[in-house]
């Protein structure tokens, strides 16, 4: 009998090792996973009143859209990896986990540091090691920390449609037609399943995609607004500030 395998669909966004003189940020929440590992003792992150010291060779895993601040009191030797993963790892938040000088994880990070330092970086090898590191970390996330997915197939079909067409003009009537339901009845079902109204869920998707474009593309903010499905830059900026408590331009400047 053929066995169905789970495909995590991990997407590596950036992997970097650098020396930082300044690392002061109020809120680094973003729609992707982060792995941090420092090699000296000069930095910390703070989330919901709890302080985490980035002591040497202590590896941190931070889930998407987790709000935290970062500070340092001296130059830091900083390794980080940003990545995305599909369900059930795509809608997690509020997770900050750490492991100190782990014998399974640290050899991968040490090897990545060596590869990143090469003048002619072996991109394929770096990418594969990044995938390995991301998988090792996600395997350690307890199942109870993963949010449940929507159970209703009609909601799943609409969300799948949103994922593929989020930049188009999408109406509740279109969603109801896909679900073969009355628009009001579908809106109630959708909110019961996801916690958000259909248009609110769609707006979150558009802002999430715009965050990635702001961080990892050279498109202008006007171009990003159009690609993410907003009518103009001003409306995009207003919604972005409302949802992420900062302007698109400021978010673009955030690193690490």
Nearest CA to 32 among 112, 124, 139, 138? 138
Q: What is the mean pLDDT of residues 187-199?
A: 92
Cβ-contact 42, 98 below 8 angstroms: no
Q: What is the mean pLDDT of residues 103-132?
A: 95
Lowest mean pLDDT across 178-182, 196-200, 252-256: 252-256
Q: Please give the pLDDT value at position 113.
A: 96
Q: Assess whether pLDDT exceeds 90 at residue 140.
A: yes
Cβ-contact 131, 103 below 8 angstroms: no
Band (1; pLDDT cuts 50, 70, 90)? low
Q: Assess whether pLDDT exceeds 90 at residue 144.
A: no
Band (145; pLDDT cuts 50, 70, 90)? confident
Q: Assess whether pLDDT exceeds 90 at residue 150.
A: no
Q: Please give the pLDDT value at position 86.
A: 87
Backbone φ and ψ for 83, nearest 5 degrees, come out as: -155, 165
Q: What is the mean pLDDT of residues 173-186?
A: 95
Reading across the β-sheet that carries 50-53, which strands appear in turn? 50-53, 43-47, 69-72
pTM: 0.86
Q: Within 13 A of 211's CA, how many CA atoms are on the CB side? A: 26
Q: Please give the pLDDT value at position 2.
A: 67
List the domains of the chain with CATH numbers.
11-145 (2.60.120.280), 153-253 (1.10.10.60)
Q: Assess whether pLDDT exceeds 90 at residue 194.
A: no
Strand 43-47 to 50-53 pairing: antiparallel
Q: Indicate the average pLDDT of the chain.
A: 92
Band (195; pLDDT cuts 50, 70, 90)? confident
Q: Assess whether pLDDT exceeds 70 at residue 104.
A: yes
- The DSSP secondary-structure symbol of 141 reads S
Rounded to whole angstroms, the Cα distance separating 3 from 222 reads 46
Q: What is the mean pLDDT of residues 95-113?
A: 97
Distances (CA, A) of 207 to 81, 218, 243, 248: 21, 17, 8, 10
According to DSSP, the residues that pair with 38 across neighbouring strands are 78
């Amino acid at each position: 009998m053929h066995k169905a395998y789970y495909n995590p669909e991990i997407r590596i966004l950036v992997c970097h090792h650098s020396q930082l003189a300044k690392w002061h940020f109020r809120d680094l929440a973003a729609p992707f996973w982060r792995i941090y590992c420092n090699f000296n003792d000069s930095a910390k992150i703070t989330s919901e009143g709890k302080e985490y010291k980035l002591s040497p060779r202590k590896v941190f895993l931070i889930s998407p859209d987790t709000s935290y601040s970062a500070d340092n009191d001296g130059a830091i030797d900083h390794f980080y990896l940003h990545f995305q993963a599909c369900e059930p790892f795509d809608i997690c938040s509020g997770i900050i986990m750490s492991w100190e000088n782990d014998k399974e994880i640290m050899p991968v990070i040490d090897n990545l540091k060596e590869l990143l330092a090469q003048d002619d970086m072996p991109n394929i090898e770096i990418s594969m090691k990044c995938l390995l590191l991301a998988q090792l970390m996600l395997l350690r996330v307890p199942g109870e920390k993963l949010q449940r997915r929507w159970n209703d197939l009609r909601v799943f079909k609409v969300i799948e449609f949103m994922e593929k067409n989020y930049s188009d003009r999408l109406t509740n009537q279109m969603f109801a037609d896909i679900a073969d339901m009355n628009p009001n009845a579908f809106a109630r079902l959708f909110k019961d399943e996801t916690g958000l109204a259909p248009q609110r869920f769609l707006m979150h998707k558009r802002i999430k995609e715009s965050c990635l474009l702001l961080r990892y593309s050279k498109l202008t903010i006007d171009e990003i607004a159009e690609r993410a499905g907003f009518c103009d830059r001003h409306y995009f900026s207003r919604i972005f500030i409302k949802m992420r408590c900062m302007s698109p331009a400021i978010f673009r400047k955030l690193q690490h």
